[in-house]
Structure 1
Amino acid sequence: MNLRWALLWLAIVLTGCQSPQNRLVAEGYPPAFAAGFQDGCGSGKEAAGAFTGQFQKDVPRYLKDKLYAEGWNDGFRQCQAMADRRDRLDPGQVWNDRDRDWEREKTRSAAKAYRPD
């Protein structure tokens, strides 16, 4: 019985480690589309301000390979939209020390304003 649970856990973990490109190919998408989608997705997150350092675009391939270009465009749009939506859902997210200091000052000022004299 423990062996079954161990195998199930291993299968779940390995499935979670699959790259977006491998997942798309496994779902039947052409490899060129999947490669473009993965590059475009990282670029879309970067454009939305996620600062992942994943902006990638194989420009010569983008210009010559229609499937890569289509995948890149789809990945860019989808992942940029998801990153933008995530920002709107979590307005208290802090991006850097300056933002953190501003949030603290804002909270302190609000506490002083609402404190009864």
Structure 2
Amino acid sequence: MWRYAVMLGAVLWLSGCQTTHQELIAKGYPPAFADGFDDGCSSGRQAAGVISGEFRKNVPRYLKEREYAAGWEDGFRQCKAMREHEELRDYIDNRGDYRERAWQREKDRDAARAYRDQ
């Protein structure tokens, strides 16, 4: 019985390791769409400023295969927007830290002025 539990756990664990490409195919998308999505996503992340992203586009395939082109466009748009949203969220989260540091610097300067003027 425990063997089945271990095997089920292994299957569930491995299924959680699917790439986006594998996940799209498992959901019924054509392989050409999944290929285009992968390339477009990498390109979108690169366009949004991710250092590890690289621009990838199979231009002859993009021009000839509608499914690849649709996948590339969707991947580019979604991954670029997701990365830009992450950057905005990081900026908003860190803005409070910036304000806190600025307030602390101003407080320290005022205290130094007060001690100096005594």
Shift in Å, 1:49: 1.0
**Cα separation, 2, equivalents of 1:13 and 1:77:** 30
Alignment RMSD: 2.6
Shift in Å, 1:111: 2.5
Change (3 A) 1:53 1:82: closer
The answer to whether the 8 Å contact 2:45/2:53 transfers is no
Superposed, 1:70-85 pairs within 5 Å as 70-85=70-85
Moved runs in structure 1, 4+ residues, more than 6 A? none
CA offsets 1:2-37 (integer angstroms, 9 cap, x no match): 545533432233122211111111100111111101
The letter of the residue matching 2:37 is F
Q: Which structure shows the higher helix fraction?
A: 2
Identity of aligned residues (%): 46
Shift in Å, 1:44: 0.7
Superposed, 1:25-36 pairs within 5 Å as 25-36=25-36
TM-score relative to the length of structure 2: 0.75
SS at match of 2:79: helix
CA offsets 1:71-98 (integer angstroms, 9 cap, x no match): 00011001111111111111289xxxxx
Say which one has the larger Rg: 2
**Cα separation, 2, equivalents of 1:54 and 1:10:** 33
2:41 counterpart of 1:48:
no
Aligned residues: 107
TM-score relative to the length of structure 1: 0.76
Which structure 1 segments of 5+ residues have no match?
94-105
Which structure 2 segments of 5+ residues have no match?
94-98, 112-118
Which residue in the other structure is 2:106 paired with?
Answer: 113
